[in-house]
């Protein structure tokens, strides 16, 4: 089938880019219309990407186009875009969530002085993320990868006058940089080993699809390094520390960047370069175990946090761990399916949290309560999101999580056990969050009011998507087309009945426990805290990872920095000052020669004469 819209897919990032440029130039005076322009830009890209997706769903061919950008020696750097099923899907996810966040932010950021700057940054981010998604070679993806990181930095530190925001932005950038170094080295290795230095994904799939072209050792190394980049961007252990701190940014961007899109870039990268991973079982194992560990690690921290956004941040880390686990088990389908559904319900949860924060002006869940009575829409949509996250059927999260767990049970039962345990914790912390915020008696002073329509309509849209998005891939006969369409493999179909039962039971158990503790009070809230205070403290302090990093890296690097600074100031600066001082000293000494005494001047003349005469008379010696 011919492609009508796919050839214009390159326009999809251009609309938000245009919005960015307009806002950059004229934003200061356009506090009312600026946001509208940005939203229109993202709407345009949403419409176009939806058209492309529909075309691709109809079975259109893949499309690729590009041009040569730079020629260095024998190597040509091309810039191009790929329209495949995977990229079309991602485009729609990114632009849809971006559009909804734009609409939401019109209400949320209404009173902010720098609202145009905010929308400009969001537009730039949208452009970068869309560019990342449709990039057709790894170098171009890397460029957009870095751009996305930059936008994240700008937006986390948007309220730059808050020192915590500044610190969080720096932390995010530096920690993801650590991962990006791995990505860059992998890029260089690929450049070295790929024939013709071709870094396009088609070439990668080609080369790594044939065995023996590149040795397994190198393949594993490249895969692990790419995964390192994904670990940084997607907040996996040990580079997860920046994501909770990134909650210092405004809540809409927590929803957009740190829930739905940018953090999914890591998963997307692994999916795009999956042929490399498929060629190296060791790398796949690493990915799976790191993902699984992160899932349960982050979930355990989440149940001890008090900040509503931090709970959701750790939840994101945990769910990304699930996606990585799915990739490590070899199923791109399951991972992308979960990414797809997670984008919707996590964005929903964050925007709902933003609505709550907007109403009660606090982020501590212990200061909230009973908001279900006053904020009905928020409460209902939040409940839908929470249930989806906990994996309760028939919501979308149930189907996607089950796809992952079924793969795990099939290949690595140990990973299945970890996944189930993490699911229990997930249900527990979400129910704790929900009951503490929305149930119970309202506290005085924090009664809250419902948010304006511009904020609640996106919530409703996302809630609807959170409900129906899962039906695209159900493990029953004849109902799963998503997997086939996306990657050619359906998600696992065997053993799914057991998985469905166990996961549902675990989810309901978690919710029940939460209800018992926080609503009924049958189990006292400090049951664990009283008996094992060390455990509570450990979880609350996030296993002291931040403190460990500070002691190991920050302190030593700062000491090195101070040493270099001292060297610079005293040795290098001292040398410079010495040179200057020598010139001044010479000048002062020379000034004493001009004392107005005739005989001094005469003496200098005689000395000159002597030197000259000696030079001429001594000619025979040289």
Partner 1 sequence: MLSSYLTMAAILFCIGLYGALTKRNAVIVLMSVELMLNSVNLNLVAFSKYGVVPSLTGQIFSLFTISVAAAEVAVGVAILIALFRSRGSANVDEFNEMRR
Partner 2 sequence: MGGFYIDWSGELVAFFAFAVVMIVGAVLMLTLTKVVHMVASLAAVFLGLGGMFVVLEAEFVAFTQVLLYAGAVTILLIFGIMMTDHQAVQREPVRPAHEIVSAVASIVLFGILFYAIRTTEFAPSAPPLQAGVDNAMEIGKQLYTQHVIPFELVSVLLTVAFIGAIVIAKKEAE
User: Residue numbers of the site for partner 1 (CB under 8 A)?
Assistant: 594-599, 601-603, 606
Q: Which of 70, 590, 598, 614 binds partner 2 (CB under 8 A)?
A: 614
Nearer to partner 2 among residue 414 and residue 603 (C-beta)? 603
CB-based burial of residue 345 (10 Å sphere; 0-12 exposed, 13-18 middle, 19+ buried)? buried
Shortest Å distance, C-beta 559 to partner 2: 52
DSSP single-letter state for residue 557: H
Closer Cβ to partner 2, 72 or 617, answer by number: 617
In whole angstroms, what is the distance from residue 513 CA to residue 362 CA? 26
**Encoded tokens for 542:** 């996030």
Looking at the Cβ atoms of 76 and 594, the one nearer to partner 1 is: 594
**Minimum CB distance to partner 1, residue 601 (Å):** 8
Q: Which does 596 bind (CB under 5 to 8 A by kind): partner 2, partner 1, none?
A: partner 1
**Interface characters, 327-346, with partner 2 (x: CB under 8 A):** --------------------
Nearest to 99 by CA among 38, 144, 154, 54: 38
Please, what is the minimum distance in Å from the beta carbon of residue 585 to partner 2?
Answer: 19
> The tokens of 490 are what?
């359906």
Q: DSSP class of residue 58? A: T
Least distance in angstroms from the C-beta of 607 to partner 2: 6
Q: Minimum CB separation from partner 2 for residue 583, in Å?
A: 24
The CB-of-604 to partner 2 minimum distance in angstroms stands at 10
Taking each continuous run of H as one helix and of E as one strand, the counts in the chain are: 28, 2
Q: How far is CA 29 from CA 35, 111, 115, 425, in A?
A: 12, 15, 11, 48
Least separation in angstroms between residue 594's CB and partner 1 is: 6
Q: Which of 29, 617, 621, 622 touches partner 2 by CB under 8 A? A: 617
Q: Which is nearer to partner 2, 544 or 604 (CB)?
A: 604
CA 328/CA 385 separation, integer angstroms: 26
Of residues 188 and 606, the one with the C-beta less far from partner 2: 606
Q: Using CB distances below 5 to 8 A depending on partner kind, what does residue 613 bind out of partner 2, partner 1, none?
A: partner 2
CA dihedral (115, 116, 117, 121) positive or negative: positive
Nearest to 218 by CA among 178, 191, 179, 180: 191
The CB-side HSE value for 578 (13 A sphere, CA atoms) comes to: 7
Using alpha carbons, select from 315, 341, 337, 312 the residue that is nearest to residue 326. 337
- Nearer Cβ to partner 1 (551/611): 611
CB atoms within 10 A of CB 67: 7
Nearer to partner 2, 161 or 621 (CB): 621
Burial label for 380, CB within 10 Å (0-12, 13-18, 19+), is: middle
Could you tell which of partner 2, partner 1, none binds residue 217, using a CB distance below 5 to 8 A set by kind? none
Distance CA 242, CA 234 (A): 10
Query: 13, 71 in Cβ contact below 8 A?
Result: no
Residues near 160 by beta carbon (within 8 Å), at least 6 away in sequence? 166, 169
For residue 594, whether the previous peptide bond is cis, meaning omega lies within 30 degrees of 0, is no
Nearer to partner 2, 574 or 608 (CB): 608
User: At closest approach, how far in Å is the CB of 606 from partner 2?
Assistant: 5
Nearest distance in Å: CB 608, partner 2? 10
Cα–Cα dist 228/230, whole Å: 5
Residue 594 binding: pick among partner 2, partner 1, none (C-beta 5-8 Å cut-off by kind): partner 1
Q: Least distance (Å) from partner 1 to the CB of residue 615?
A: 18
595: partner contacted, choices partner 2, partner 1, none (Cβ within 5-8 A by kind)? partner 1
Count of C-beta atoms within a 10 Å radius of residue 192: 10
Which entry of partner 2, partner 1, none binds 617, CB below 5 to 8 A by partner kind? partner 2
Tokens at 23, concatenated: 């806002």
Q: Which of 373, 243, 394 is nearest to 321 (CA)?
A: 243
609 binds partner 2 (CB under 8 A): yes
Residue 607: which of partner 2, partner 1, none does it interact with, CB under 5 to 8 A by kind?
partner 2
614 binds, among partner 2, partner 1, none (CB under 5 to 8 A by kind): partner 2
- Cβ 556 to partner 1 shortest distance, Å: 59
**Structure token digits, residue 202:** 């088609």
Tokens (6 digits) for 166: 């500044």
Q: How far is the CB of 600 from partner 1 (least distance, A)?
A: 9
Phi, psi dihedral angles at 135 (to 5 degrees): -60, 140
Using CB under 8 A, pick the residue from 523, 548, 582, 607 that binds partner 2: 607
- Binding to partner 2 by CB under 8 A, coded x per residue (else -) over 111-150, reads ----------------------------------------
Instruction: State which of positions 587-606 bind partner 2 (CB under 8 A).
Output: 599-600, 603, 606
Q: Which one of partner 2, partner 1, none interacts with residue 598, CB within 5 to 8 A by kind?
A: partner 1
Q: Out of partner 2, partner 1, none, which partner does residue 211 contact, by CB within 5 to 8 A per kind?
A: none
Output 444 or 592, the one with its CB closest to partner 1: 592
| CA gap 396, 341 in Å, rounded | 6
Pick 594 or 600: Cβ nearer partner 2: 600
Whether residue 4 contacts residue 55, with contact meaning beta carbons closer than 8 Å, is answered with yes
Residues 314/350, Cβ–Cβ less than 8 Å: no
> Which entry of partner 2, partner 1, none binds 563, CB below 5 to 8 A by partner kind?
none
Q: Where does this chain touch partner 2 (CB under 8 A) — which range of 12-20, 243-251, 335-343, 610-618?
A: 610-618
CB of 167 to partner 1, least distance (A): 59
3-state secondary structure of 70: strand
For tokens 């492309």, name the residue: 52
Residues that bind partner 2 (CB under 8 A): 599-600, 603, 606-607, 609-610, 613-614, 617
């Amino acid at each position: 089938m011919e492609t009508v819209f796919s050839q214009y897919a390159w326009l999809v990032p251009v609309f938000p880019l245009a919005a960015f440029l307009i806002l950059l130039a004229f934003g200061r005076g356009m506090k009312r219309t600026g946001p509208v322009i940005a939203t229109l830009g993202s709407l345009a890209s949403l419409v176009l990407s939806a058209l492309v997706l529909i075309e691709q769903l109809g079975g259109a061919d893949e499309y690729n186009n590009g041009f040569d950008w730079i020629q260095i020696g024998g190597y040509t750097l091309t810039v191009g875009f790929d329209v495949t099923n995977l990229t079309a899907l991602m485009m729609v996810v990114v632009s849809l969530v971006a559009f909804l966040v734009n609409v939401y932010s019109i209400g949320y950021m209404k009173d902010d002085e720098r609202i145009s700057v905010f929308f400009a940054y969001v537009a730039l981010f949208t452009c970068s993320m869309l560019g990342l998604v449709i990039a057709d070679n790894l170098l171009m993806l890397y460029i957009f990868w870095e751009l996305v990181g930059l936008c994240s930095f700008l937006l986390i530190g948007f309220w730059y006058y808050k020192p915590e925001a500044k610190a969080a932005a720096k932390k995010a950038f530096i920690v993801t940089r650590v991962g990006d170094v791995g990505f860059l080295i992998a890029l260089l290795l690929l450049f070295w080993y790929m024939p013709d230095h071709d870094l396009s994904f088609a070439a990668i799939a080609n080369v790594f699809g044939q065995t023996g072209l590149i040795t397994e050792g190198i393949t594993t190394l490249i895969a692990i390094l790419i995964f390192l980049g994904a670990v940084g961007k997607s907040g996996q252990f040990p580079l997860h520390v920046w994501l909770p701190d990134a909650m210092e940014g405004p809540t809409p961007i927590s929803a957009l960047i740190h829930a739905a899109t940018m953090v999914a870039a890591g998963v997307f990268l692994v999916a795009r370069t999956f042929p490399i991973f498929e060629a190296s079982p060791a790398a796949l194992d690493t990915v799976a175990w790191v993902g699984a560990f992160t899932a349960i690690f982050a979930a355990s921290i989440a149940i001890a946090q008090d900040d509503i956004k931090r709970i959701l941040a750790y939840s994101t880390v945990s769910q990304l761990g699930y996606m990585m686990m799915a990739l490590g088990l070899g199923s791109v389908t399951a991972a992308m399916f979960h990414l797809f559904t997670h984008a919707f319900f996590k964005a929903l949860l964050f925007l709902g949290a933003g609505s709550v924060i907007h109403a009660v002006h606090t982020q501590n869940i212990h200061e909230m309560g009973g908001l279900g009575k006053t904020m009905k829409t928020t409460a209902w949509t939040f409940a839908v999101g929470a249930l989806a996250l906990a994996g309760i059927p028939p919501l979308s999260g149930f189907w996607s999580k089950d796809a992952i767990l079924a793969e795990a049970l099939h290949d690595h039962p140990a990973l299945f056990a970890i996944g189930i345990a993490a699911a229990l914790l997930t249900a527990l912390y979400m129910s704790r969050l929900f009951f503490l915020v929305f149930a119970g008696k309202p506290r005085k002073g924090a009664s809250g009011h419902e948010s304006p329509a511009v904020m609640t309509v996106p919530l409703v849209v996302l809630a609807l998507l959170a409900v129906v998005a899962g039906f695209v891939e159900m493990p029953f006969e004849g109902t799963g087309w998503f997997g086939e369409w996306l990657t050619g493999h359906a998600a696992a179909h065997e053993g799914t009945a057991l998985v469905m039962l166990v996961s549902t039971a675990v989810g309901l158990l978690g919710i029940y426990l939460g209800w018992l503790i926080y609503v009924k009070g049958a189990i006292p809230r400090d049951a664990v805290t009283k008996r094992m205070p060390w455990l509570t403290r450990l979880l609350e302090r996030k296993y002291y990872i931040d403190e460990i990093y500070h002691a190991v890296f920050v302190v030593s690097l700062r000491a090195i920095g101070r040493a270099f600074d001292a060297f610079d100031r005293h040795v290098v600066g001292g040398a410079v000052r010495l040179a200057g001082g020598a010139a001044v000293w010479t000048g002062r000494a020379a000034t004493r020669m001009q004392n107005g005494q005739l005989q001094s001047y005469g003496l200098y003349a005689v000395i000159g004469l002597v030197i000259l005469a000696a030079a001429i008379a001594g000619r025979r010696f040289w």
